[in-house]
């Protein structure tokens, strides 16, 4: 159970969730499959899937959660084609143009007819809470998807005092300084640095340049900013840090992955628990090291 992308949030106050209370809270929003008229459902599933029996998995100060969504597959092109056909049928039969409101009504009626026979797809969004360090990580590359999961957790718990962990840091500035000087302690530059130019409306202008190169200096002089920088931490985790605060494409070294290799496959619940604790612990160390290097926030904090 290793997270490969992380949207990170800090708790604004100390929390001490207990499993019995957490289970009771999450059960209020238990996942259910889509009914015939449902377009989408969203709720909590077993944290360890078929190998677990609880919605929250507690492991030595870490809590694993799993939000599950099921939605009907209704391709927009197919829906629009059917709607257009019905509109044309009305216009030909009644020799008049269909109004915007009528078209919207036809589309709504069409959707409700199609949704009953539509196929469904499911997606899982995993979260973990680090009670000791006071942060919450969502395994996703989309902040909107992360916020959906947080909204569900907030609904279940009644409150969720978290804020984006890097919201008060200008990460682009930090990464630029690192690239022009040297990588932070215990960090090594990877093979990619992605830049954007304000004159090109933020479109990525170049990538793949090694830090501290002459060409990179020229690009910075032209006003380019760092969007993403690949780094390796302590020879144990490779990742990409984005200016928006997302930690992407996390790859754990073979040394880490092999630590639990002796756990038999027959005991998959134990294997998942061990992997989750190991992966969460490594991420926790990485996050602590990042914040040590970043120090105090360098942009005004929100009240």
Q: What stretch of H or E contains 112?
A: helix 100-115
In the Cβ-directed half-sphere of 93, how many Cα atoms lie within 13 Å?
7
pTM of this prediction? 0.84
Contact, 5 vs 51, CB < 8 A? no
Strand partners, 226: 195
* Residue 205 pLDDT greater than 70, yes or no: no
The token pair that represents 244 in the structure block: 């928006």
Query: Which SS3 state, helix, strand or coil, does residue 35 take?
Result: coil
- Residue found under tokens 């909590």: 44
Mean pLDDT value of segment 230-250? 95
* Residue 86 pLDDT greater than 60, yes or no: yes
What's the residue count for the chain?
303
- Mind listing the pLDDT tens digit for each residue in 255-291? 998 999 899 888 899 999 999 999 999 999 999 999 9
- Residue found under tokens 């990460």: 171
d(CA 126, CA 25): 17
- Mind listing the pLDDT tens digit for each residue in 162-182? 999 999 999 999 998 898 888
d(CA 10, CA 96): 59
Higher pLDDT, 184 or 25: 25
229 CB-contact burial (10 Å; exposed 0-12 / middle 13-18 / buried 19+):
buried
- What is the pLDDT of the chain when averaged over all its residues? 89
């Amino acid at each position: 159970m290793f997270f490969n992308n992380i949207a990170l949030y800090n708790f604004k106050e100390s929390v001490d969730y207990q499993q019995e209370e957490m289970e009771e809270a999450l059960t209020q929003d238990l996942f259910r499959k889509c009914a015939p008229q449902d377009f989408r459902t969203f709720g909590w599933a077993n944290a360890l899937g078929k190998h677990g029996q609880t919605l929250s998995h507690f492991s030595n100060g870490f809590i694993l959660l799993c939000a599950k969504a099921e939605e009907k597959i209704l391709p927009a092109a197919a829906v629009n084609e059917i709607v257009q056909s019905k509109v044309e049928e009305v216009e030909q039969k009644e020799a008049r143009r269909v109004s915007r409101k009528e078209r919207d009504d036809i589309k709504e009626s069409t959707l409700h007819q199609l949704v009953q026979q539509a196929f469904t797809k499911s997606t899982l969004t995993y979260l973990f809470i680090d009670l000791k360090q006071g942060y919450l990580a969502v395994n996703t590359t989309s902040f909107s998807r992360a916020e959906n999961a947080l909204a569900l957790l907030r609904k279940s718990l009644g409150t969720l005092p978290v804020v984006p962990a890097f919201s008060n840091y200008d990460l682009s500035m930090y990464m630029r300084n690192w690239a022009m000087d040297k990588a932070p302690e215990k960090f090594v530059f990877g093979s990619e640095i992605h830049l954007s130019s304000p004159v090109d409306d933020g479109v990525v202008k170049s990538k793949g340049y090694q830090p501290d190169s002459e060409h990179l200096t020229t690009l910075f002089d032209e006003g380019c900013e760092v969007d993403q920088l690949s780094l390796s931490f302590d020879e144990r985790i490779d990742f990409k840090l984005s200016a928006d605060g997302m930690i992407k494409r996390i790859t754990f070294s073979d040394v880490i992955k092999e630590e639990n290799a002796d756990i038999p496959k027959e005991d998959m619940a134990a294997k998942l628990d061990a992997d989750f604790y190991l992966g969460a612990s490594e991420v926790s160390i990485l996050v602590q090291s990042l914040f040590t290097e970043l120090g105090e926030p360098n942009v005004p904090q929100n009240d």
